[in-house]
């Protein structure tokens, strides 16, 4: 049902309940559901069973009164065809054909806005994703984060939220020093496998590329921040570090552009130290009384907030453990006015959730419990030619996002991006995923992104053969749409707004991929069962309108997850 129809049916139930609840303290929360068995009707409500005990009535008797009052209400005309009672008191309704067909005109009128809502109006949300260390190219795990985070951001935008997409750069710590040492070793003429090559060094070809550009004193720039010009001095480790970090940030920018992902803001971990945010967070935690000294280290009483044990904040050598800057960073997020923060990260971050949230509660500055939310994703296994791909020449030890896009597109970057984006959100984040490049290259029903895109292209091909004007469809008579395949399409189109709202609320962008596959399946079933360009002008016009509405919703859903909707395939 459309949202307005659902509201109207809820109002009919409330009107039927009003005289029954009058003079009592009983309140009713009318919930409408789809019957598990479609043969039972279009809408089910168990309100009679919920209220019977409080009203000291037999549930079927109460259900009968409600149905009688509902059917007697003139407001149900044109909306509800019939109502019956099942089992101990379930009320099943059958919605009129005209109500089901009304979705077509709603889609045609709203166009790209169909499915959007304003539930989040005035609410600021920050969604942090990818956040890769600038020590190498983006790997497929980062790709899954990018697909999930970008689609989730679009879902929140569709529901009216003010969304900031943020990339957090871990540009401080041991890994950055390892990067600088790796480039310096290459500058000195060493390579992986040599006796003098550092054991912890990064082995990918990109290290040699950085060293060569450093030697030539090149200048590189990332999407934000100042350009870095190489000094060319092999002994200048600080220049090597700054140049290598900026070089790799630029490489990551290129990968993200190829993936169609843009960020609103980049936040540097190093700024938390230079701006005094880490020290300020530690000071707040000390003043809260939730810290203590033991064995030369500073500890946080995270057990007080549900953690399995207390955690070290500052080690004996004076350095902070990695969760401390995370606490500082999330205090900053809250201070920036975000009511909700969502982090899309690998499942290896699971252990940090309790301690970060504990730190945020311990500072006692009004941060709500459960801040931030986490979407944790599991590993991606890449298959190509029937075998698992574990390494890439570019990275030296893992498959990169750029590899995956290039392989999956067969030389077509747009096709590769579409396949990678769709595939990487097509499963729940907390399930492991096998990305089969051979499937991504197929032009058949086996390839889910091809299956959905072909539904859109198939409609476009139909409409090319039609000589009418789409503007004339606004007032078309939809009553001829009575075939079973038409009913399935109408129901799926009407479910789109609710699918978006549910996916946003459950932080589950995979649900949009599921929805699009269902819509495509219904379109293909219709195509093989019915003809559109029939001799009956009324039927033809109604079916053309249904096709235009279906094309629009396919476009809307694909755009939401960053996948193109080609007119031809």
Each residue's pLDDT tens digit, 463-480: 999 989 999 999 999 999
Verify that 391 and 430 share a domain, yes or no. yes
In a domain, 371, yes or no: no
Same domain, 433 and 451: no
Per the structure, the complete domain to which residue 178 belongs is given by 174-238
pLDDT tens sequence across 481-501? 999 999 999 999 999 999 999
168 strand-pairing partners: 267
**Residues 17 and 81 grouped into a single domain:** yes
Residue 531 to residue 536: CA distance in whole angstroms: 11
User: Based on the domain organization, do 458 and 551 belong to the same domain?
Assistant: yes
Instruction: Give me the pLDDT at residue 1, please.
Output: 77
Closest of 109, 186, 142 to residue 398, by C-alpha: 142
Q: How many domains does the chain have?
A: 4
| Cα 67 to Cα 83: distance, rounded to the nearest angstrom | 7
Q: Are residues 554 and 467 in the same domain?
A: yes
- Last-in-domain residue among 79, 95, 111: 95
The string of pLDDT tens digits covering residues 30-86 is: 999 988 888 889 999 999 999 999 999 999 999 999 999 999 999 999 999 999 999
- Concatenated DSSP letters for 219-237? EE--SSS--EE----TT-H
Residues 478 and 428 in one domain: no
- pLDDT for 224 equals 75
The values of phi and psi at residue 318, to 5°, are 90, -5
Residue 20 sits at φ, ψ, to 5 deg, of -75, -35
Q: What is the pLDDT of residue 64?
A: 96
CATH code of the domain covering residue 66: 3.30.1360.70
Q: pLDDT tens, 2-20? A: 889 999 999 999 999 999 9
**3-state DSSP assignment of residue 169:** strand
**Domain shared by 396 and 495, yes or no:** no
* Cβ neighbours around 200 below 10 Å, total: 10
**423 in any annotated domain:** yes
pTM for this structure?
0.92
Omega cis (within 30) before 372:
yes
What stretches of 78-197 show up as alpha helix (H) in DSSP?
Answer: 97-110, 140-158, 174-187
My answer on whether 183 and 81 are in the same domain is no
Mean pLDDT of 409-429: 95
Q: Per-residue confidence at 368, pLDDT binned at 50, 70, 90?
A: very high
Same domain, 416 and 489: no
460 shares a domain with 423: no
Question: Strands, E, within 373-524: which ranges?
Answer: 373-377, 380-384, 387-389, 433-436
- Per-residue pLDDT of 247-269, as tens digits, reads 999 999 999 998 999 999 999 88
Q: Report in angstroms the alpha-carbon separations of 358 from 260, 330, 504.
A: 36, 12, 26
- From 95, 117, 145, give the residue that closes a domain: 95
Residue 172 has pLDDT above 80, yes or no: no
* Structure confidence at residue 394 as a pLDDT band (50, 70, 90): low
Do 450 and 541 share a domain, yes or no?
A: yes
In this prediction, residue 117 carries a pLDDT of 97
pLDDT of residue 393: 60
Residue 109 lies in a domain: no
What is the CA 300 to chain-centroid distance, rounded? 33
Q: What is the mean pLDDT of residues 201-217?
A: 94
- Based on the domain organization, do 81 and 185 belong to the same domain? no
Res. 392: pLDDT tops 70 = no
Apex 133 CA angle, 132 and 139, nearest 5: 50
Q: How confident is the model at residue 390 (pLDDT cuts 50, 70, 90)?
A: confident
User: pLDDT per residue over 134-169, tens digit each?
Assistant: 888 899 999 999 999 999 999 999 999 999 999 998
* Residue 396, pLDDT score: 67
Angstrom distance (rounded) from CA 407 to CA 399:
11
Residue where a domain terminates, one of 183, 210, 238: 238
The pLDDT mean for the chain works out to 94
């Amino acid at each position: 049902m459309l949202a307005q129809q659902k509201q109207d049916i809820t109002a009919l139930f409330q009107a039927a309940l009003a005289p029954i609840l009058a003079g009592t303290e009983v309140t009713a929360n009318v919930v409408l559901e789809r019957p598990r068995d479609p043969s039972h009707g279009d809408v089910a409500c168990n309100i009679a069973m919920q209220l019977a005990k409080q009203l000291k009535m037999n549930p079927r008797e109460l259900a009968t009164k409600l149905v009688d009052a509902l059917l007697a209400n003139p407001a149900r005309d044109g909306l509800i065809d019939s109502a019956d009672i099942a089992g101990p008191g379930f009320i099943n309704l059958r919605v009129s054909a005209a109500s089901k067909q009304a979705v077509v005109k709603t889609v045609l009128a709203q166009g790209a806005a169909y499915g959007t809502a304003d539930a989040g109006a005035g609410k600021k949300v920050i969604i942090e994703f990818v956040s890769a260390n600038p020590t190498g190219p983006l790997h497929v795990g980062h790709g899954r984060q990018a697909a999930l985070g970008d689609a989730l951001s679009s879902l929140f935008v569709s529901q009216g939220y003010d969304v900031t997409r943020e990339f957090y750069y871990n540009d401080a710590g041991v890994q950055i020093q390892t990067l600088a040492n790796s480039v310096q070793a290459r500058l000195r003429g060493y390579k992986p496998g040599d006796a003098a090559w550092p054991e912890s060094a990064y082995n990918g070809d990109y290290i040699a590329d950085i060293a060569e550009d450093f030697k030539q004193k090149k200048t590189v720039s990332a999407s934000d921040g100042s350009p870095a010009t190489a000094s060319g001095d092999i002994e200048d480790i600080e220049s090597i570090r700054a140049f290598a970090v900026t070089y790799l940030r630029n490489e990551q920018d290129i990968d993200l552009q190829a993936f169609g992902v843009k960020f609103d803001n980049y936040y540097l971990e190093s700024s938390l130290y230079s701006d005094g945010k880490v020290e300020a967070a530690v000071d707040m935690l000390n003043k809260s009384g939730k810290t203590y000294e033991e064995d030369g280290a500073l500890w946080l009483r995270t057990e007080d907030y549900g953690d399995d044990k207390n955690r070290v904040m500052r080690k004996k050598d004076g350095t902070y453990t990695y969760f401390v800057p995370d606490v500082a960073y999330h205090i900053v997020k809250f201070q920036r006015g975000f009511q909700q923060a969502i982090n899309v990260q690998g499942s290896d971050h699971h252990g940090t959730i309790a301690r970060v949230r504990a730190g945020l509660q311990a500072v006692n500055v009004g941060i709500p419990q459960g801040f931030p939310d986490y979407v944790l994703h599991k590993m991606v296994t890449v298959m190509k030619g029937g075998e698992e791909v574990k390494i890439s020449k570019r990275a030296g030890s893992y498959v990169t996002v750029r590899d995956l896009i290039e392989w999956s597109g067969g030389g077509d970057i747009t096709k590769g991006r579409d396949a990678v984006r769709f595939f990487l959100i097509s499963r729940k984040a907390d399930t492991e995923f096998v990305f089969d490049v051979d499937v991504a290259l197929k032009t058949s029903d086996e390839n889910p992104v091809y299956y959905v895109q072909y539904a859109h292209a198939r409609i476009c091909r139909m409409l090319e053969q039609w000589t009418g004007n789409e503007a004339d469809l606004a007032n078309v008579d939809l009553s001829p749409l009575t075939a079973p395949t038409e009913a399935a399409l109408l129901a799926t189109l009407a479910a789109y707004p609710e699918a978006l709202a549910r996916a946003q609320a459950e932080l589950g962008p995979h649900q949009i991929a599921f929805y699009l596959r269902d819509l495509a399946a219904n379109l293909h079933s219709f195509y093989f069962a019915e003809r559109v360009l029939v001799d009956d002008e009324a039927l033809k016009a109604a079916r053309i309108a249904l096709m235009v509405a279906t094309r629009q919703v396919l476009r809307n859903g694909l755009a939401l997850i960053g996948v193109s909707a080609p007119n031809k395939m």
